[in-house]
A and B are shown apart, each in its own frame.
Chain A
């Protein structure tokens, strides 16, 4: 099923970590946690690089009690669509990645350009008929060897190396970022706070399918950098559900403090925001995908 791309209208956001992009998104942000899910999936994925885009459609009915706003009846209909990254998505993706390297000043625009330039691998999640062209999620993988000469990648590697204070892991990290870089993919995954988790399994499936289509190298290590949340009592609360699975599967990982202003929900008030860097073997990805499906579909 083909869908023409709308002409771009750029919706620029003022900074200070915006969470919502459009009137719709603001409604979604007010919806509480309970929801009903209805699946309509059209599988229209196209393989070759020549095609403009692929899509999967999900209709999600969200029903909830919202005590704050009486006018709002609690049902929000959302049609999310998956698109290949395009140059038009620059502002949306850049906003999502604003705090990717904490508060470090780096060539973020260059990094976003790399992501958008890679049309064969990566997905941008947007609404079906959104005038504002708001980006709700970006997921992609960047081969660290292929892009090693780009300033943003150099800065990113430097950032990661400076983060790691554990002697036993820094050697591993250095080699993944250095001589093994050709075999290493950086997983970039960021989404708005209230993105329905039902979107995660197909998003990750799409990514790893695209990676295997785009490359013939079977023994690719996926090096992943993500945010998660931990608390001092050694109970981990993962902001992104997929992080928990990845953490269990990882060969090694280390934590680092996050300085960015993340909005803490009421439940997470006493938790300290921490970032995590994980290295996951490519052969463990199929297990990851299965577990992610199971986790999301049973909740």
Chain B
């Protein structure tokens, strides 16, 4: 593995997919892999690639023939869940491109925008209140995490209105203090209520984040960026340390 220079700040702002600042719609980032939608300029893909490719695989893909991959799938370092309308080719491509320890599973859930319905890190998930019981079990099983049905500021699309890593999280700006406390206890990470892309409440659409880096849309203001940097503890994040830690536990699976 090549050496990583540790930067003081690991946020990449100024991203656009075509003319959209909705980074979190066209990508999905975890500690083990990154998915990027096909289409859009090479700049979008290359920003992810240049930052991440030494550490984790960056995979171009579509899901269900669409580019809105970030909103359709949910995953963490243990697995990736894709909706029922994912094609066989896409499924195969993902299985081929992602590390073996990442289990890619297509699930029969009627709420097919999994990325809008599920928000998770490597330990816990928040889900849409109407999610199938079976889906909840698959999340717990495949992603290896605890599942909580929740709303955020009265919104059932929990996957849209928050983004959290193993170190911190950003939630809908109108989340009450009581809800913030409750969610923070469930997730066991510090949370802050805020916005992305110049006042947008749809947090997960405007950004994507893992334990050492965040990618934000180009409308994100300096204030918003500093909040993100602070709550996700990105200032002195060292990706090499984090990935090494993960890899130690994965060594067993190599033949």
* 17 A-B contact pairs sorted by A residue (CB < 8 Å): A10-B200, A12-B205, A12-B206, A14-B22, A14-B71, A15-B22, A15-B25, A90-B198, A98-B19, A99-B19, A103-B18, A103-B19, A104-B19, A105-B18, A105-B19, A106-B19, A109-B198
Q: Please, how many angstroms separate the alpha-carbon atoms of A103 and B200 in the complex? A: 23
Q: Report how many A-B pairs have Cβ atoms within 8 Å.
A: 44
Q: Which residue of B lies closest to A100 (CB)?
A: B19
Min CB distance A99 to B, Å, is 8
Contact present for A15 and B202 (CB under 8 Å): no
Contact present for B19 and A91 (CB under 8 Å): no
Q: Please, how many angstroms separate the alpha-carbon atoms of A106 and B19 in the complex? A: 7
Partner of A109, one of B205, B206, B218: B218
In the complex, whether B61 has a CB less than 8 A from a CB of chain A is no
Q: Which residue of B lies closest to A97 (CB)?
A: B19
- Residues 17-41 (chain B) with a chain A CB within 8 angstroms: 18-22, 25, 41
Partner of B19, one of A12, A16, A90, A108: A108
Contact present for A10 and B199 (CB under 8 Å): yes
- The number of chain A residues touching the other chain, given as a range, is 10 to 19
Min CB distance B192 to A, Å, is 18
- Residues 82-96 (chain A) with a chain B CB within 8 angstroms: 90-91
Q: Which residues of the other chain, A, contact B21 by a CB distance below 8 angstroms?
A: 109
Question: Interface digits, B194-238 against A, CB 8 Å rule (1 contact, 0 not)?
Answer: 010111111001100000000000110000000000000000000
Ranked nearest first, the 9 interchain pairs of A and B with the lowest CB-CB distance are: A12-B200, A12-B202, A15-B20, A10-B199, A108-B19, A15-B22, A109-B219, A12-B201, A14-B205
Min CB distance B222 to A, Å, is 14
Min CB distance A201 to B, Å, is 31
Q: Which residues of the other chain, A, contact B195 by a CB distance below 8 angstroms?
A: 10
Contact present for B197 and A12 (CB under 8 Å): yes
In the complex, whether B105 has a CB less than 8 A from a CB of chain A is no
Q: Please, how many angstroms separate the alpha-carbon atoms of A125 and B41 in the complex? A: 33
Q: Which residues of the other chain, B, contact A11 by a CB distance below 8 angstroms?
A: 201
Question: Interface digits, B2-23 against A, CB 8 Å rule (1 contact, 0 not)?
Answer: 0000000000000010111110
In the complex, whether B68 has a CB less than 8 A from a CB of chain A is yes
Q: Which residue of A lies closest to B66 (CB)?
A: A16
Question: Interface digits, A148-187 against B, CB 8 Å rule (1 contact, 0 not)?
Answer: 0000000000000000000000000000000000000000
What secondary structure prevails in chain A residues at the interface with B? loop
**B residues neighboring A (CB under 8 Å):** 16, 18-22, 25, 41, 68, 71, 195, 197-202, 205-206, 218-219
Contact present for A14 and B68 (CB under 8 Å): yes
Contact present for B199 and A91 (CB under 8 Å): yes
Contact present for B199 and A90 (CB under 8 Å): yes
Min CB distance A269 to B, Å, is 21
- Residues 1-54 (chain A) with a chain B CB within 8 angstroms: 8, 10-12, 14-16
- Residues 170-210 (chain A) with a chain B CB within 8 angstroms: none
Min CB distance A91 to B, Å, is 6
Min CB distance A163 to B, Å, is 17
Q: Which residue of A lies closest to B43 (CB)?
A: A105
Q: Which residues of the other chain, B, contact A99 by a CB distance below 8 angstroms?
A: 19
Q: Which residues of the other chain, A, contact B199 by a CB distance below 8 angstroms?
A: 8, 10, 90-91
Question: Interface digits, A100-115 against B, CB 8 Å rule (1 contact, 0 not)?
Answer: 0001111011000000
Known: A10-B200, A109-B218, A109-B219. A98 touches B20 (CB 8 A): yes
Q: Which residue of B lies closest to A108 (CB)?
A: B19
Q: Please, how many angstroms separate the alpha-carbon atoms of A11 and B195 in the complex? A: 12
Q: Which residues of the other chain, A, contact B19 by a CB distance below 8 angstroms?
A: 98-99, 103-106, 108
Q: Which residues of the other chain, A, contact B68 by a CB distance below 8 angstroms?
A: 14-16
Q: Please, how many angstroms separate the alpha-carbon atoms of A250 and B206 in the complex? A: 41
Q: Which residues of the other chain, B, contact A16 by a CB distance below 8 angstroms?
A: 68
Contact present for B18 and A10 (CB under 8 Å): no
Q: Please, how many angstroms separate the alpha-carbon atoms of A33 and B168 in the complex? A: 50
Min CB distance A134 to B, Å, is 14
Min CB distance B71 to A, Å, is 7
Q: Which residues of the other chain, A, contact B198 by a CB distance below 8 angstroms?
A: 90-91, 109
